[in-house]
Amino acid sequence: MSELKFGQIAPITFAVMLVLAGCVSQQKYEAQQQKYDALQGRYDQLNQTMSSEIGAKQMHIERLQNAIKVTVNDQLLFPSGEWQMPATAQQTIAKMVPILAPMQQTRIVVTGYTDNVPIGPGLRRQGISSNLILSQKRADNVMQFMIARGVNPALVSAQGLGDADPVASNDTPEGQAQNRRVELTLAGSGN
């Protein structure tokens, strides 16, 4: 039996490493593809289920690279200057929960925003001293409602950003209305 020399072993080792690397890459590709397909399926379901709200421009659903972002304007969820969801708002969120709840490996971040109009005396009497606090209360309210309807509490969080990150100018009532919103972002794995 002849002895293998280093010059003969190196190409064999390199070839084995390439084959193994190809297998891992294929597994990663397939895992990523499954995540993409799951998000795409939820995106399609949300668009179909929420078509009347989307058509009325009360909601916008956007497919991002590794996420879905649902933007709900405040007229659909909260009366001006309020953070408690009326029954109609609960019905809207309740329509989305059956689509979101099965995604037990997907993080859901509920983000509340406001316009830049200062907090009025009525809200101040209720302990709301800033738009940041109002936006947090709105986000918390939506999150708690979703949890009560079956979304995994370990995978949902809420944050209020107040008047940060406006999507329109606050110089007009229409722009202010666009800036008062709640966004639900579904992204990545909960693992």
Residue 88's domain is classified under what CATH number? 3.30.1330.60
The pLDDT tens digits for 29-79 are 777 777 778 778 888 888 888 888 888 878 888 988 888 899 888 778 887
The pLDDT tens digits for 110-158 are 999 999 999 999 899 999 999 999 999 999 999 999 999 988 999 999 9
Distance CA 71, CA 51 (A): 13
The whole domain housing 30 covers: 6-187
pLDDT for the residue 167: 92
Please check whether residue 1 lies inside any domain of the structure: no
pLDDT for the residue 8: 52
CA atoms within 13 A on the CB side of 102: 8
Please check whether residue 89 lies inside any domain of the structure: yes
